[in-house]
């Protein structure tokens, strides 16, 4: 072998070793997201009727975030905001829009959490619900940065826990024992097994991984195996049978209270099994674990947020832009990196995850298109910057007459009946009135108008999800 060839071989070998060392230094990230779990549906936020010991332990082991917000108040726009790092004034997906026979409106082709981690050499997987592109749309999970996907492509299909099929990547997986109302395979358990397999395989392959566990629990239908956990709640909680009312309604439940509570505890047990697996694999100190929800609690299929006090002190539920519809449970743990027992009151939101992860894995330049800000320094114990505390957070929602909301510091502006073009404005001070009971819009007119102008600056019009007044204006311009 000549000298040049030998040097080339040594150089290639050294680069391979360096690359392996760099990958090993990268932290694993596990992102666990519940579906329609309210702020106070977990013990660490005050839940008293449902047992969540593993989630409470995760929160104690790391940092709790009291003022963390979903991307929106329903599934698709909230997940699009999380995935792209943009709020709903800029995301392409701003509402739930079904594409028949199966799936939702496809998310645009740009930076996603999956692509961010892939670009740093991670193995990426998502297990649970996608809901951001129908089969064949070119916007399925494996088209948007995920090496593996297992679960529901369609969020409407995810209303059933005994479906006749799920998806592995772009391959349909049929469950004949669930056909015609049979209860052969419980989807949530199947999805959880695949998530654990992905984590274990990636760890054994010594590959850094990003695992999104987008479980569908406790979204309706309120249905699960009637095991010992269900029986515990059946004997403890006030019975509440639920009868399906029409063709597209959620299926009936013999005891919606017991089912909901057991589904939340099942989710808690999944989280505990993830933690136990990390300890068994010896990677707990190399793995950041996040737990949250996609929006506020629901009142569907027999769900009863009033009975469980699911939103705690906060007003509103799913589909509201009041705090109860968008403020969500959030905790992050990383043994040896995040000090236990921490609590942050800094207002943060889903679109902040992309820049935070980008900084974490050395991909900061890829977060340039995000509306968010990195909060990595908070995890390290640093005090929040003034800009992080005072910046505006924005939401819009395209149902129920159109809604917008803006939080800036302690102030919150809510706009209702936006479709009319002359919205009703409500102003709240969250420091003195976190439950949003005292509308200050009449007594603080200057602040109301200032925040409204800022609210309008926060958004651009959407051709896919326009407000009614925008459609009317476009029609009138076209007529002239």
Secondary structure letter of residue 438 according to DSSP: -
pLDDT given for residue 2 in this prediction: 54
Q: Which two tokens stand for residue 402?
A: 């159109």
One domain, residues 418 and 371:
no
The three state secondary structure string of 20-47 is: HHHHHHCCEEEEEEECCCCCCCCHHHCC
pLDDT at 234 over 60: yes
Spatial CA neighbour of 85 closest among 344, 368, 295? 368
Q: Say how many domains are in the chain.
A: 2
| Residues 96/129, Cβ–Cβ less than 8 Å | no
Q: Which of 390, 413, 434 is the last residue before a domain boundary?
A: 390
One domain, residues 273 and 417:
no
The residue behind tokens 């984590």 is 199
One domain, residues 382 and 406:
no
Rounded to whole angstroms, how far apart are CA atoms 55 and 217? 14
Q: Is 191 left (phi over 0), alpha (psi -120 to 50) or beta?
A: alpha
One domain, residues 150 and 282:
yes
Average pLDDT over residues 139-148: 98
One domain, residues 411 and 264:
no
pTM, two decimal places: 0.94
pLDDT given for residue 479 in this prediction: 81
Rounded to whole angstroms, how far apart are CA atoms 359 and 375? 9
Over the stretch 382-440, which tens digit does the pLDDT of each residue have?
999 998 999 999 999 999 999 999 999 999 999 999 999 999 999 999 999 999 999 99
Rounded to whole angstroms, how far apart are CA atoms 302 and 259? 10
Q: How many residues does the chain have?
A: 480
One domain, residues 337 and 292:
yes
Across 163-317, where does the E strand assignment appear?
165-168, 171-174, 209-214, 287-293
The strand pairing partners of 355, in sequence order, are none
Q: Write the CATH number for 439.
A: 3.30.1120.10
Is the four-CA dihedral 350, 356, 358, 360 of positive or negative sign?
negative
pLDDT band for position 22 (cuts 50, 70, 90): low
Q: Give percent of the chain with pLDDT exceeding 90.
A: 92
Helix (H) or strand (E) holding 132: none
The residue behind tokens 């999956």 is 114
One domain, residues 267 and 229:
yes
CB contact burial 260-293 (16+ within 10 A = b; e otherwise): bbbbbbbbbbbbbebbebbeebebbebbbbbbbb
Rounded to whole angstroms, how far apart are CA atoms 392 and 146? 31
Over the stretch 262-276, which tens digit does the pLDDT of each residue have?
999 999 999 999 999
One domain, residues 372 and 406:
no
Over the stretch 341-379, which tens digit does the pLDDT of each residue have?
999 999 999 999 999 999 999 999 999 999 999 999 999
Residue 354 domain-assigned (yes or no): yes
Residue 395 domain-assigned (yes or no): no
Neighbours of 49 (CB within 10 A): 17
| Residues 264/7, Cβ–Cβ less than 8 Å | no
| Residues 88/94, Cβ–Cβ less than 8 Å | yes
Find the domain containing 404 and state its range.
Answer: 400-479
The residue behind tokens 């089969």 is 135
pLDDT given for residue 30 in this prediction: 99
- Pairing of β 123-129 and β 68-69: unpaired
Q: Write the CATH number for 173.
A: 3.40.720.10
Q: What is the mean pLDDT of the chain?
A: 95
pLDDT band for position 17 (cuts 50, 70, 90): very low
Residue 281 domain-assigned (yes or no): yes
Rounded to whole angstroms, how far apart are CA atoms 260 and 278? 28
Q: Which two tokens stand for residue 434?
A: 């976190």
One domain, residues 213 and 331:
yes
Rounded to whole angstroms, how far apart are CA atoms 356 and 298? 29
pLDDT given for residue 24 in this prediction: 57
Q: Which of 341, 363, 390 is the last residue before a domain boundary?
A: 390
One domain, residues 377 and 430:
no
DSSP alpha helix (H) spans, 365-443 = 376-379, 386-390
Over the stretch 317-350, which tens digit does the pLDDT of each residue have?
999 999 999 999 999 999 999 999 999 999 999 9
Q: Give percent of the chain with pLDDT exceeding 70.
A: 95
Phi, psi for 14 (deg, rounded to 5): -65, -40
């Amino acid at each position: 072998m000549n000298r040049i060839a030998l040097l080339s071989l040594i150089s290639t070998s050294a680069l391979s070793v360096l690359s392996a060392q760099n990958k090993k230094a990268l932290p694993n990230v596990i992102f666990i997201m519940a579906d329609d779990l309210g702020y106070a549906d977990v013990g660490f936020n005050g839940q008293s009727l449902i047992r969540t010991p593993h989630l409470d332990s995760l929160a104690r082991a790391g940092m709790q975030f009291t003022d963390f917000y979903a991307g929106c108040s329903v599934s698709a726009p909230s997940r699009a905001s999380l995935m792209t790092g943009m709020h709903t004034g800029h995301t392409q997906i701003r509402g739930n829009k079904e594409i028949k026979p199966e799936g939702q409106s496809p998310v645009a082709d740009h930076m996603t959490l999956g692509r961010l981690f892939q670009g740093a050499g991670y193995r990426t997987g998502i297990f649970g619900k996608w809901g951001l592109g129908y089969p064949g749309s070119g916007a399925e999970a494996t088209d948007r940065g995920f090496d593996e996907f297992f679960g529901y492509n369609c969020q409407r299909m995810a209303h059933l826990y005994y479906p006749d099929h799920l998806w592995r990547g772009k391959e349909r997986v049929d469950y004949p024992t669930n056909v015609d109302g049979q209860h052969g395979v419980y989807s949530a358990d199947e999805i959880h097994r695949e998530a654990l397999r992905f984590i274990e395989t990636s760890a054994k392959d010594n590959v850094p991984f990003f695992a999104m566990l987008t479980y569908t629990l406790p979204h309706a239908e309120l249905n699960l195996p009637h095991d010992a956990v269900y029986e515990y709640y059946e004997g403890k909680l006030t019975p509440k049978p639920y009868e399906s009312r029409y063709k597209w309604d959620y299926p009936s439940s013999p005891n919606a209270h017991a089912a909901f509570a057991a589904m939340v505890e099942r989710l808690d047990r999944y989280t505990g099994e993830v933690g136990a697996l990390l300890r068994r694999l010896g990677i707990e100190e190399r793995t950041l674990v996040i737990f949250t929800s996609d929006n506020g609690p629901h009142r569907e299929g027999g769900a009863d947020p009033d009975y469980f006090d699911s939103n705690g002190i906060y007003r509103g539920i799913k589909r509201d832009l009041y705090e109860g519809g968008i403020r969500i449970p959030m905790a992050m743990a990383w043994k040896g990196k995040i000090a236990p027992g921490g609590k942050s009151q800094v207002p943060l939101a889903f679109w902040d995850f992309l820049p935070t992860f980008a900084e974490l894995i050395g991909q900061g330049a890829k977060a340039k298109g995000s509306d968010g800000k990195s909060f990595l320094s908070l995890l390290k114990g640093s005090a929040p910057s003034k800009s992080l505390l005072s910046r505006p957070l924005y939401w819009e929602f395209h149902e129920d007459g159109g809604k917008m909301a803006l939080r800036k510091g302690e102030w919150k502006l809510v706009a209702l009946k936006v479709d009319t073009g002359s919205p009703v404005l409500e102003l709240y001070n969250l420091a003195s009135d976190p439950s949003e009971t005292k509308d200050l819009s009449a007594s603080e007119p200057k602040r109301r108008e200032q925040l409204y102008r800022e609210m309008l600056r926060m958004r651009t019009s959407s051709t896919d999800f326009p407000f009614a007044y925008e459609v009317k204006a476009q029609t009138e311009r076209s007529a002239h």
